[in-house]
Amino acid sequence: MKCETVQAWMRERFDQDLPLEQGFAGHLQECAACRAYRDRLSALSAALTEIKVEEPSEQFLRSLCAATRPVPAQAYGPWVAATVAFLAVVSAAVGWFNPVSIDWTAALEAAADWRTPLEVARGLFSPVLMLLREAGAALAPIHEVTPAGPPWMFAGGVALLAGVLFGFNAFLRMAGENSSMHPTRHSGN
């Protein structure tokens, strides 16, 4: 058997990660060149199982533990949710008991008149609160006035109110179940 054939076959078996010697044991005993070639391929196979690695520093591993450690949920979260829910309910209640039509054009213009931080805050929240008030008005059983806003406003207001209350309820349930995960990011090495 020719050495060239044997070595080509060994190459093919190496590429396919198969045993190199199968079928050639006799030839390999007699042929030093093919044995040497087999040894080189075997060494390469062995080297693949012990590829050198860059080890992380102990400091990095410590910081990794710290970085992935969960921290308790922010304590003010429930307060924010409670305040939002309270405002939503109050706005809807105002609309319910005092279903006066809102002049949306004037109200939105006033809301858009931002000069001070307080006005910015009012501008951001008042359309939502007005919408909720309209929702309350729409739901009022003794409706005496026709609200000025289009029907979608009432639908939107009702959906918003429902969403806020549902969200608040879900938040309270989630907060009650466990302290939620907020992994902190490792800021450096």
Partner 1 sequence: MNAHMPSDTPQDMQDPLDAEWVRRARLGDHAAFESIVQRYGKAIYRHMYRMMLNREDAEDLTQEAFIRAFRYVDRLDTGGSLRSWLYTIATRVGLNALRSQYRRGKAVTSSYEAHVESAGDLQAPGSGASAEHAALRDELEVALAALQPRAALLIQLHHTEGFPIREAAAIVGMSPASAKVALCRARKELRERLLKENQA
Binding mask of the shown chain, residues 122 to 161, with x at each position contacting partner 1 by CB under 8 A = ----------------------------------------
17 versus 144: smaller Cβ distance to partner 1: 17
Stretch 57-96 residues interacting with partner 1 (CB under 8 A): 60-61, 64-65, 67-70
143 versus 182: smaller Cβ distance to partner 1: 182
48 binds partner 1 (CB under 8 A): yes
170 binds partner 1 (CB under 8 A): no
Give me the amino acid identity at 52.
K
Candidate residues 1, 5, 40, 121; the one interacting with partner 1 per rule CB under 8 A: 40
Q: How far apart are CA 147 and CA 104, in angstroms?
A: 10
9 binds partner 1 (CB under 8 A): no
Q: How far apart are CA 146 and CA 181, in angstroms?
A: 48
The CA-to-CA distance between both ends of the chain, in Å, stands at 60
25 binds partner 1 (CB under 8 A): no
Q: Which residues of 150-173 are buried (b: 16+ CB within 10 A; e: fewer)?
A: eeebbebbbebbeebeeebeebee
Q: How far apart are CA 150 and CA 26, in angstroms?
A: 94
- Candidates 123, 149, 124, 127; CA nearest to 138 is 149
19 binds partner 1 (CB under 8 A): yes
Residues that bind partner 1 (CB under 8 A): 11, 14-19, 40-41, 43-45, 47-56, 60-61, 64-65, 67-70, 178-181, 183, 185-186, 189
